[in-house]
């Protein structure tokens, strides 16, 4: 091994699997249905296994059972040959397992990186000198040696997640479990973490269990397990699983988008096989083009962008700057002179690498962060002779001038609804109805109890939940997808003119993402003037947004329609971003002399390829 990262002693008994479940069942308190229902499977030493399934299918429960964070109600679990049925077995097995959760902030316990990495070994009673060696080896394994003395809170999401992986490696696990560990990372951060995990599996022989909603991550595994309603319903190589087609749909999972595009092209007469990777689909399209004599096909051009429309609820930003912890040794400039126009009626996307300033930017839109001159205690600085006054930022949202101290900020926050990252963390009330009603009562103190109830039930219905079923429930008893819907209901109950959402679909399964975006489009078409979403998912931006801007290092690097934005693949990658699957297919097609112009939606690519091969652009 290139690094000494695995558990010393306690060898795996000869012939024993690294991990085994035998008819395991687990019930959460007060739940009638088991979260894990009769599960049996084995993982070999050094194997890389991915686990996929819809939200609530039992994936995370499975991971917590392996680590002994939960105790099985029935059945037998063995980790590294150790029976987890008693406390001593759990304690010993934990020396062989490490888990990295979705949100790295939930695992950070110290103010210095090296102290955070040392936390696990210290709790295992490792000697001080050995802890130092483990810190050095673990940080080197994830490429974070230069950050040993840094403060975790000041690192990017990808860096934090790598530190979380290092903290797990420091206990020298034989089995590494990642529970949606890349869900909230930007494309570069996601790529960094997965590359580290893959290398540890190949070079160090560490057994990996990867729970994910990203199909491209699942494809990297030796074997894929599909869960549905607490049960394992499919197992096999990723290729076998994803080529099963309709079976995945049966279990509330979507087909990989690349497979769906191949199927759609086949229906139009293009000879494509079921594909799982962009290069495979491009090769099949090019082969069909060559066979039909269209080797250098060029698709019809899309008309140029006429720019955003203008209306009474435009968003106009000029010279916006912001510094966290200003006038302190920890000052960090988040925005550096942002100029941006978002027209009324747009479904607008904001993308950028972690720490680029996206969340800081949108928090200005409903004055969660106020402009300096809008603060009551603000006084213009006294200028010395010949000194020019500083350029002050300007921000207008519809009729509101957010640079004016007299702006009605309470009404602004009613008209500009904000849904934060991890919106389920916003829930706090005893019942769903009370939680949804909280903002409505604050913004509309004259509403009668009957009016409040009517609007709360309407908002809950609008997000696809049954008021009769959930109103009196605790929001903490709901599934992850239901919690997110309730959090959105708590914002839309006031019927804001503008809806701003920070990663609204992150962490959801493909079907859950699709449902959330359909909900936002329905609200947009019915009464919400403008929707602004922050997202790390480039396919989400391509398929839903009228325009999008790229934030990089506190500035707007680009702003255009997805069609124009994602044509600049190298530029986007240089900014730590990725491009949609469709753009990757077009990029591969150029290697075959095929220039395909499309809007980078799956439907648009299928239509453009069909047109380039002599068919019609529209089905």
The DSSP line for 526-549 is: HT-SEEEEE-S-HHHHHHH-SEEE
Instruction: Check residue 2 and give its pLDDT.
Output: 40
**399 CB-near residues (< 8 Å, 6+ apart):** 312
Compute the distance between CA of residue 81 and CA of residue 92 in angstroms, rounded to an integer.
10
Nearest alpha-carbon partner for 545 in 566, 531, 526: 531
- Residue 245 clears pLDDT 90, i.e. is over it: no
Alpha helices in 124-230, H assignment, sequence order = 128-141, 157-169, 187-204, 215-218
Instruction: Check residue 216 and give its pLDDT.
Output: 84
Instruction: Check residue 370 and give its pLDDT.
Output: 94
Compute the distance between CA of residue 337 and CA of residue 197 in angstroms, rounded to an integer.
38
Nearest alpha-carbon partner for 322 in 374, 285, 286: 374
Average pLDDT over residues 419-423: 79
Percent of the chain with pLDDT over 90: 55
With beta carbons less than 8 A apart as the criterion, state whether 499 and 528 touch.
yes
Percent of the chain with pLDDT over 70: 94
Average pLDDT, the chain: 88
Number of other CB atoms surrounding residue 86 within 10 Å: 11
Locate 374 and state its tokens: 């809008």
DSSP character string of 206-250: -EEEEE-S-HHHHTTSSEEEEEETTEEEEEE-HHHHHTTTHHHHH
Instruction: Check residue 142 and give its pLDDT.
Output: 82
Compute the distance between CA of residue 105 and CA of residue 534 in angstroms, rounded to an integer.
20
Banded pLDDT at 214 (limits 50, 70, 90): confident
Nearest alpha-carbon partner for 559 in 546, 577, 547: 547
Given the structure tokens 């809806």, which residue do they identify?
Answer: 499
The angle at the Cα of 447, spanning 442 to 451, to the nearest 5 degrees, equals 120
Compute the distance between CA of residue 466 and CA of residue 223 in angstroms, rounded to an integer.
38
Average pLDDT over residues 489-494: 93
pLDDT, tens digit, 9 for 90 and up, residues 138-188: 888 888 888 899 888 878 767 888 898 889 889 888 999 999 888 777 787
Nearest alpha-carbon partner for 530 in 398, 401, 347: 347
Locate 363 and state its tokens: 């928090």
For the ranges 166-170, 203-207, 393-397, 562-566, the maximum mean pLDDT occurs at: 393-397
Locate 414 and state its tokens: 């009613």
Alpha helices in 371-431, H assignment, sequence order = 409-415
For the ranges 60-64, 313-317, 510-514, the maximum mean pLDDT occurs at: 313-317
Nearest alpha-carbon partner for 179 in 165, 191, 167, 169: 165
Phi and psi dihedrals of 159, rounded to 5?
-65, -40
Banded pLDDT at 91 (limits 50, 70, 90): confident
Locate 459 and state its tokens: 């908002």
Nearest alpha-carbon partner for 507 in 532, 482, 489, 480: 480
Nearest alpha-carbon partner for 153 in 185, 105, 117: 105
Q: How far, in Å, are 109, 283, 323 from residue 555 at the CA level?
A: 32, 38, 13
Average pLDDT over residues 504-521: 86
Helices (H) and strands (E) in the chain, counts: 23, 20
Instruction: Check residue 1 and give its pLDDT.
Output: 36
| Chain centre distance of CA 196 | 19
What domains lie within the chain, and their CATH numbers? Answer: 19-250 (3.40.50.300), 257-303+581-612 (no CATH), 315-379+390-560 (3.40.50.300)
Banded pLDDT at 247 (limits 50, 70, 90): confident
Average pLDDT over residues 383-399: 87
| DSSP annotation of 475 | G
pLDDT, tens digit, 9 for 90 and up, residues 3-56: 455 555 567 877 789 999 999 999 988 788 899 999 999 999 999 999 999 888
Compute the distance between CA of residue 171 and CA of residue 177 in angstroms, rounded to an integer.
13
- Identify the helix (H) or strand (E) that includes residue 418: strand 416-419
Instruction: Check residue 296 and give its pLDDT.
Output: 60
Determine which of 119-128, 301-310, 473-482, 580-589 has the lowest per-residue pLDDT on average: 301-310
Instruction: Check residue 50 and give its pLDDT.
Output: 96
Q: How would you class 312 by CB atoms within 10 Å of its CB: exposed for 0-12, middle for 13-18, buried for 19 or more?
A: exposed
pLDDT, tens digit, 9 for 90 and up, residues 95-106: 899 998 877 888
Beta strands in 286-434 (DSSP E): 315-324, 332-342, 347-352, 394-397, 400-401, 416-419
Instruction: Check residue 555 and give its pLDDT.
Output: 96
Instruction: Check residue 26 and give its pLDDT.
Output: 96
Compute the distance between CA of residue 280 and CA of residue 29 in angstroms, rounded to an integer.
47
With beta carbons less than 8 A apart as the criterion, state whether 134 and 125 touch.
no
pTM: 0.86
Locate 447 and state its tokens: 């509403």
Given the structure tokens 């699983």, which residue do they identify?
Answer: 241
């Amino acid at each position: 091994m290139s690094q000494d990262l695995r558990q010393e002693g306690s060898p795996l008994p000869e012939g024993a699997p690294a991990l085994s479940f035998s008819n395991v069942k687990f019930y959460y308190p007060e739940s009638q249905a088991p979260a894990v229902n009769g599960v049996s499977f084995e993982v070999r030493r050094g194997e890389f296994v991915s686990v996929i399934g819809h939200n609530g299918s039992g994936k995370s429960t499975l991971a917590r059972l392996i680590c002994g964070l939960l105790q099985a109600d029935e059945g037998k679990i063995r980790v590294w040959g150790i029976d987890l049925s008693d406390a001593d077995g759990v304690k010993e097995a934990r020396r062989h397992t490490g888990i990295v959760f979705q949100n790295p902030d939930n695992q950070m316990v110290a103010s210095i990186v090296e102290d955070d990495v040392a936390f696990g070994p210290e709790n295992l009673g490792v000697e001080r000198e050995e802890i130092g060696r483990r810190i050095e080896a673990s940080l080197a394994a994830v490429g974070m040696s230069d950050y040993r003395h840094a403060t975790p809170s000041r690192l990017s999401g990808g860096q934090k997640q790598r530190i979380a992986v290092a903290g797990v490696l420091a206990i020298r696990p034989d089995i590494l479990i990642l529970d949606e560990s890349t869900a909230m990372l930007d494309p570069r951060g996601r790529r960094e973490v997965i590359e580290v995990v893959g290398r540890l599996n190949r070079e160090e022989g560490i057994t990996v269990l990867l729970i994910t909603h990203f199909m491209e991550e699942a494809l990297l595994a030796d074997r894929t397990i599909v869960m549905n309603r607490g049960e394992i319903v499919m197992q096999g190589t990723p290729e076998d699983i994803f080529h099963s087609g309709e079976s995945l749909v049966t279990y509330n999972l979507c087909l990989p988008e690349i497979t769906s595009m191949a199927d759609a092209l086949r229906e139009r007469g293009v000879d494509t096989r079921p594909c799982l990777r962009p290069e495979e689909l491009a090769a099949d399209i090019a082969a069909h083009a060559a066979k039909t004599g269209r080797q250098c096909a060029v698709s019809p051009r899309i008309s140029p962008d006429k720019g955003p429309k203008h209306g009474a609820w435009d968003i106009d930003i000029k010279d916006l700057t912001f510094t966290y912890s200003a006038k302190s040794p920890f000052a960090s400039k988040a925005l550096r002179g942002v100029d941006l126009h978002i027209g009324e009626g747009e479904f607008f996307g904001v993308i950028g690498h972690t720490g680029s300033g996206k969340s800081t930017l949108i928090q200005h839109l409903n004055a969660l962060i106020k402009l300096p001159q809008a603060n009551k205690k603000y006084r213009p600085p006294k200028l010395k002779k010949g000194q020019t006054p500083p350029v002050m930022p300007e921000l207008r949202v519809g009729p509101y001038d957010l640079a004016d101290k007299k702006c009605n900020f309470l009404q602004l926050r009613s008209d500009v609804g904000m849904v934060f990252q991890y919106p389920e963390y916003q829930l706090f009330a005893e019942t769903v109805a009370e939680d949804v009603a909280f903002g409505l009562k604050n913004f509309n103190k004259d509403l009668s109890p009957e009016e409040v109830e009517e609007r709360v039930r309407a908002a809950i219905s609008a997000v696809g939940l049954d008021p009769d079923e959930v109103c009196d429930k605790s929001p903490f008893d709901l599934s992850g997808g239901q919690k997110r819907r309730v959090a959105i209901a708590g914002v839309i109950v006031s019927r804001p003119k503008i809806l701003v959402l920070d990663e609204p679909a992150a962490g959801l399964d493909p079907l859950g993402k699709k449902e959330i975006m359909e909900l936002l489009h329905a609200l947009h078409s019915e009464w919400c003037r403008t929707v602004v979403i922050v997202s790390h998912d480039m396919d989400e931006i391509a398929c839903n947004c009228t325009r999008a801007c790229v934030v990089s290092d506190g500035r707007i690097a680009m702003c255009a329609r997805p069609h124009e934005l994602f044509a600049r693949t190298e530029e986007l990658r240089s900014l730590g971003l990725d491009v949609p699957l469709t753009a990757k297919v077009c990029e591969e097609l150029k290697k075959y002399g095929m220039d395909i112009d499309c809007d980078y939606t799956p439907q648009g690519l299928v239509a453009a390829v069909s047109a380039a091969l002599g068919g019609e652009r529209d089905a």
